[in-house]
């Protein structure tokens, strides 16, 4: 279901669509969450993520991004899975203390690094699970601001916040 101004969806309907889609994504395993983030970045025309770097203090994430660039592909994959799974390690702690907007920008830049080949992308042959495909379709049906909200909701709890 696509929400538009002409439909005049109520605020509770819009909030429910965001909450439902967020929960669908959070219930996925790490690899499906990573794949969904990747396919959303690629297939939704990058339209939902360029706003993120402007709203964030990316300099706070630059050291973390540099660490990813220096890792082997296997280490990069492990580090991304660890972020999703909230593993308590130095990378996840460094990510965990970032602001939500900086976390969103981090994933945007990480996706850009995947496109350029510096960071391992999801393999072209990767097939998302049926649950991941349903979550992706739900995400596609949301409006731009709702998509951004879902992404914020998904990436904010990733990593490990030692102060939480």
Is residue 93 assigned to a domain? Answer: yes
Strands (DSSP E) contained in 13-159 are none
CATH of the domain at 145: 1.10.2090.10
Kindly report the length of the chain. 164
H, E, C per residue of 143-159: CHHHHHHHHHHHHCCCC
Average pLDDT over residues 132-154: 94
Q: Can you tell me the distance from the alpha carbon of 21 to that of 141, in angstroms, rounded to the nearest whole number?
A: 10
Other C-beta atoms closer than 10 Å to the C-beta of 153 total: 17
Average pLDDT over residues 115-141: 94
Q: Is 131 or 41 the better-scoring residue by pLDDT?
A: 131
Share of the chain above pLDDT 90, in %: 67
Is residue 73 assigned to a domain? Answer: yes
Half-sphere exposure at residue 124, Cβ-oriented, CA atoms within 13 angstroms:
2
Residue with token string 């939704």: 44
Q: Can you tell me the distance from the alpha carbon of 19 to that of 21, in angstroms, rounded to the nearest whole number?
A: 6
Is residue 6 assigned to a domain? Answer: no
| Structural domain containing residue 133 | 11-155
Is residue 127 assigned to a domain? Answer: yes
Is residue 164 assigned to a domain? Answer: no
pTM (2 decimals)?
A: 0.86
**Number of domains within the chain:** 1
pLDDT at position 82 is: 98
Is residue 2 assigned to a domain? Answer: no
Is residue 128 assigned to a domain? Answer: yes
Is residue 80 assigned to a domain? Answer: yes
């Amino acid at each position: 279901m696509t929400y538009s101004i002409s439909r005049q969806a109520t605020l509770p309907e819009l909030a429910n669509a965001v909450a439902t889609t967020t929960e669908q994504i959070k219930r996925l395993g790490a690899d499906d969450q990573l794949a969904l983030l990747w396919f959303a970045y690629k297939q939704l025309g990058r339209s939902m993520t360029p706003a993120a770097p402007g709203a964030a203090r990316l300099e706070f994430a630059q050291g973390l991004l540099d660490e990813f660039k220096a890792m082997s592909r296997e280490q990069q994959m492990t580090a991304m899975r660890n972020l999703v799974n909230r593993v308590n390690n130095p990378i996840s702690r460094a990510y965990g203390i970032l602001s939500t907007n900086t976390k969103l920008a981090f994933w945007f830049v990480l996706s850009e690094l995947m496109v350029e080949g510096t960071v391992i992308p999801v393999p072209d042959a990767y097939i998302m699970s049926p649950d991941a495909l349903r979550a992706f379709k739900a995400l596609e049906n949301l409006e731009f601001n709702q998509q951004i909200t879902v992404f914020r909701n998904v990436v904010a709890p990733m990593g490990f916040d030692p102060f939480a």
